[in-house]
Structure 1
Amino acid sequence: MSSVDVPEQVPPSLAGTSVPGGWAQTDRHGNLVPTPHLRQLFEYFLSALGEETLEQLVARIEAALSALEEPARSQALATLGAYLEYKLAVSELEQSYSQVSGLEAGEMQRRMAEIQALRRTWLDADTADAFFADDEAVDHFQIEKLKIAGDDSLTDAQKAEALQRAESSLPAPLRKAREETRRFSDYEQARLALADDPRALEAWRQEAFGEEVAGKLARLEEEQKDWDSRWQSYSRDRHRLMSSGLAAPERQEALERLRASYFNETERIRAEALDSIR
């Protein structure tokens, strides 16, 4: 276990967040069962690199892994070490690639194969599959999509059918996520097309999402319209206040009163954050 000095406070980017769960899985002999959740645990802490050193973040991961009993604890620590070696190796590999935008399917496939081989060099097959199955399914789909788009022998209808077949090979959660993304993309287009016909838009929502979700979307839109209206009025008043020539302390007090007159407590936090970036 590492003897690195680790601050009591977590890195700022992790403050208020929860450590991923579901990773402490073992079989009936006490051996570690690799899962996507274990990789999520690693990446949760490693995402704060730069706020703390790698050694400090690794020590935090090791502390989390100490909840495991042997032999799973040692196996998890070994997996962490192998994963870090893989991360370093893949970073060096990616640096060797020329920075070319719009890669063709063949070149993308070659690069993905090299990265997949690296994963299975540093990690055993079960761990590599558990950690990267979804990523590799998406990579395969993206390659197929490029191949389909570049196949001039196919009609638009045939390309759409081939794309649907390729998408069907994705894991169910990823397919569902893509379907949801498409539905909301279609909704944005419908909102623009039916902006002047609220009844038609409501009918579209009901058909596309069902009554419950359609109702939530309608309420969210009304809330957004209300916010936009109040924000515009607040912004005009704020501009006049900031140009009033008041001394800084009085100006700040007046600004806080102004926010309170337009927004509730939660909205004031959002308004203050928006003010800070303009």
Structure 2
Amino acid sequence: MRRALPYLVLAAAVAGVLAGRGRQQVVLRRLDPGVAPPTVAPSPHAARPSRSRAPEGADAGTTDRGATRRSHLPPSLAGTAPDGQLAVDDSGRLVVTRETRRFFDYFLAAGAEDGAGRARARLVAEVRSRLPARAVPEAIDLLDRYLTYRRRARVAEQAPDAGARLSLLHAVREQTLGPETARAFFADEEAVEEAGVERARIFADPWLDAAERERRAAALEERLPEPVREARAEALAPLRLAHQEGQLRASGASAAEIRALRERSFGAEAADRLEELDRQRVAWQQRLDDYRVARDAIERNESLDAGARDRAIETLRSERFTPEERLRVAALDRIRQARP
């Protein structure tokens, strides 16, 4: 597991690539400056919108008003920028997308902190300030249906069986939000959850051998939406590389062979960073091993009482590690001492 950790650093960089993928051809113009347009799902209100845009004057002064509004956010949201966004089509009607739900969720997250009523009122004020008049009642109506869904979903989520839970949630979403909005808000999420339920069934089936289970699991992955498949593949890539590296090292592979595997997986620049991480990890482990040798010598010194021994160990840490490193070393010492 320790070998896998450095590769997780790459996952964050790789994930950034995904942010630009999967965009549909509907062109959106953001109603809050500074955030890229969202992926657009079909609007339940406007058939085939040619483009979604901000109303005239929507951008003017938005930053100042947004700063004023955000100054009244609860502590949990202070210093943050709204997630998601709101968008309208050419006729000024609301375009419902996954980004709409993210925008709602951002402001509703404070409900547990200052009450559901205040969170809704704050969100309604945001909607009125960001949308043209025609879209405001649509957005508020959608918000209230979404709030109803969230209340009903809490009951559905209590279902003990994962498959039953997913079916109940799907039904609640369609009944409360309508089929089109439910798809816009939850389609990718449901696809992943359905695949997870089916995957569990596959691997619990005693009549399937390992090869058949892997074949069926791979087929499930292929049926996922393309953006989801890409995100999952990229997220797992560092762990796959760690596994492949472990196999190569176990077989006695050279440093050049490890380097070649890394370059094939992530490119030369990433391979350079991984090599630097290797050097840092080796250097840290050497320092830690040297410290433990000295610490064990202190522990074995029978001329020291318990208090003198503790002070000597603290002095040793102070001499060999920075304040931040000392916290880590002390934690590692506790883990080591707890082992049988």
With normalisation by structure 1, the TM-score equals: 0.71
Please state whether the residue corresponding to 1:31 is helix, strand or coil: coil
Please say if 1:211 is aligned against 2:268.
yes
Measured at CA, do residues 217 and 76 of structure 1 come closer, stay the same or move farther in structure 2, by a change above 3 Å? farther
Measured at CA, do residues 9 and 71 of structure 1 come closer, stay the same or move farther in structure 2, by a change above 3 Å? closer
Deviation of 1:8 (Å): 3.6
Q: One-letter code of the match for 1:55?
A: G
Which structure ranks higher in relative contact order (CA pairs < 8 Å, sequence separation ≥ 6)?
2
Equivalent-residue separation in structure 2 for 1:17 and 1:223 (angstroms)? 34
The answer to whether the 8 Å contact 1:112/1:139 transfers is yes
Please state whether the residue corresponding to 2:113 is helix, strand or coil: coil
The answer to whether the 8 Å contact 1:234/1:262 transfers is no
Measured at CA, do residues 229 and 136 of structure 1 come closer, stay the same or move farther in structure 2, by a change above 3 Å? same
Q: One-letter code of the match for 1:219?
A: E
Q: Which residue of 2 aligns with 1:78?
A: 141
Q: Which residue of 1 aligns with 2:194?
A: 140
State the Cα deviation string for residues 78-132 of structure 1 (Å, max 9, x = none).
111111111111112334x34xxxxxxxx43232111101011110222111100
Measured at CA, do residues 109 and 16 of structure 1 come closer, stay the same or move farther in structure 2, by a change above 3 Å? same
The answer to whether the 8 Å contact 1:46/1:54 transfers is yes
Q: One-letter code of the match for 2:131?
A: L
Measured at CA, do residues 93 and 162 of structure 1 come closer, stay the same or move farther in structure 2, by a change above 3 Å? closer
State the Cα deviation string for residues 2-55 of structure 1 (Å, max 9, x = none).
xxxx9945333333432124x222122211111111111121223334332222
Higher CA-based Rg: 2
Which ranges of 4 or more aligned residues in structure 1 deviate by more than 6 Å? 227-237, 270-275
Equivalent-residue separation in structure 1 for 2:228 and 2:215 (angstroms)? 18
What runs of 5+ residues in structure 1 fail to find an aligned partner?
1-5, 99-106, 245-257
Q: Structure 2 matches for 1:48-67, cutoff 5 A?
A: 48-66=110-128, 67=130
Kindly report the root-mean-square deviation, in angstroms, between the aligned alpha carbons of the 2 structures: 3.8
Equivalent-residue separation in structure 1 for 2:278 and 2:77 (angstroms)? 31
The answer to whether the 8 Å contact 2:111/2:118 transfers is no
Deviation of 1:74 (Å): 1.3
Measured at CA, do residues 35 and 7 of structure 1 come closer, stay the same or move farther in structure 2, by a change above 3 Å? closer
Measured at CA, do residues 24 and 230 of structure 1 come closer, stay the same or move farther in structure 2, by a change above 3 Å? farther
Measured at CA, do residues 161 and 223 of structure 1 come closer, stay the same or move farther in structure 2, by a change above 3 Å? same
Equivalent-residue separation in structure 1 for 2:132 and 2:284 (angstroms)? 52
Please state whether the residue corresponding to 1:33 is helix, strand or coil: coil
Equivalent-residue separation in structure 1 for 2:75 and 2:282 (angstroms)? 33
Please state whether the residue corresponding to 2:89 is helix, strand or coil: coil
With normalisation by structure 2, the TM-score equals: 0.59
What runs of 5+ residues in structure 2 fail to find an aligned partner?
1-68, 296-306, 312-317, 335-340
